[in-house]
Structure 1
Amino acid sequence: MTTPPTVDADLGWTLGTVMRSYMKLSEHALAGVPGGPRSYLVLTAAANGELGSQLAIAQHLNIDRTVMTYLLDDLENEGLVERKPDPADRRARRVLLTDAGRELLCTLERRLRQAEEALLGPLDGGEREVLRSLLRRIATDDGGHRGSACDVAERIVAEDAVAAVPTSRRRRS
């Protein structure tokens, strides 16, 4: 009979502990932002500019349209974003960062980097890069077919959407 490993040797325990620590540090870093982490993601998507429309950002971030409206209302009331009609489709609203939104986003990114540094404090620079690289490889592995983080995120969102449809409404093949 072998002795069971200690809890600190268990991958699930280790990942859970690291994730809880990261969540606590990142929540602190994003404190005071209307909408918290979700709004940070919206600001990041708006800064990128590729998605543009309110609906596209909501779909990309897997945020309910109604929730997205409330998040944008709060961000707009704080002067962080503007919603303007899309010249190509007047029904669509483009989400644009204001100067204050860009400034806040830079501040939040610095705070998150500091949170990451605090979390990874026990590791030296080389170990940090190895850890990030290994985690990125695991996160973007798709059953042996590696993809980008965006590819994996889109696959997960699509799987979640299918899972959300009641079984009685799914097409049978």
Structure 2
Amino acid sequence: MAEVDEAVETHAQPAVPGDLGWNLGMVLRGYQVLFEDAVEGMPSGIRGYQVLSAVVHKDPPNQQALGVHLAIDRTVLTYLLDALVSAGVVERVPDPTDRRARKVIATAGGRQMLSAYEKRVAVAEAELLSGMADDEAKTLGALVTRLAHHVHRADPGTSPCEAMDHLQ
């Protein structure tokens, strides 16, 4: 019980400027390690998962909007999509509103793949949050979501992929 009280006291101490960055970096690094393991075997790894997830859950109107949403350079996105098309998880179809543009849609196999990988990612996220009570984890999730949207609105070009790439 003394360990718990000591841990609570440690958390109650005033934050030192710079601690937020260190704390976020540690959490992000821990998340990256678990996430990489969870998406092992996914075409193009983490980025492939993010692209497929965005295609399924965000339904961007075209390939350009997908790149903007994920803050992925269009050249890089082209290579990612090529890999996902080759794997049979997405296809490019003409945008119904602009025949010059392409819409990216998930195949039935891609939706099944995403569903399986989402379960693996959920387990990884639960493992990362296992040091917290359920209500604390839900609160943290809500607060991080709100903060992420605030940062994204202030700098829409911010790339979460780059942040993960630069952790090393």
- The whole-number CA distance in structure 2 between the counterparts of 1:53 and 1:22 is 29
Alignment CA distance shift 1:57-1:139 (3 Å): closer
How big is each residue's C-alpha offset from its partner over 1:32-52, in whole Å with a ceiling of 9 and x where there is no partner? Answer: 112222211211121135313
Query: What's the TM-score once normalised by structure 1's chain length?
Result: 0.72
Q: Would the aligned equivalents of 2:64 and 2:74 in 1 still touch at CA under 8 Å?
A: yes
SS at match of 1:56: helix
Choose the corresponding residue for 1:28, options 37, 51, 56: 37
What residue in structure 1 maps to residue 65 of structure 2?
Answer: 56
SS at match of 2:61: coil
Alignment CA distance shift 1:11-1:94 (3 Å): closer
SS at match of 1:157: coil
What residue in structure 1 maps to residue 47 of structure 2?
Answer: 38
Q: One-letter code of the match for 1:112?
A: V
- The whole-number CA distance in structure 1 between the counterparts of 2:54 and 2:158 is 22
What residue in structure 2 maps to residue 147 of structure 1?
Answer: none
What residue in structure 2 maps to residue 125 of structure 1?
Answer: 134
Q: Would the aligned equivalents of 1:46 and 1:52 in 2 still touch at CA under 8 Å?
A: no
**Distance apart, 1:136 and its partner CA:** 3.2
What residue in structure 1 maps to residue 154 of structure 2?
Answer: 155
**Distance apart, 1:137 and its partner CA:** 4.0
- The whole-number CA distance in structure 1 between the counterparts of 2:158 and 2:133 is 37
Task: Write out aligned runs for 1:106-145 (5 A).
Answer: 106-141=115-150
State whether structure 2 residue 66 is matched by structure 1 residue 70: no
Unmatched runs of 5 consecutive residues or more in structure 1: 142-151, 161-173
User: Aligned residue pairs: how many?
Assistant: 145
Q: What is the root-mean-square deviation of aligned Cα atoms in Å? A: 2.6
State the identity as a percent: 46
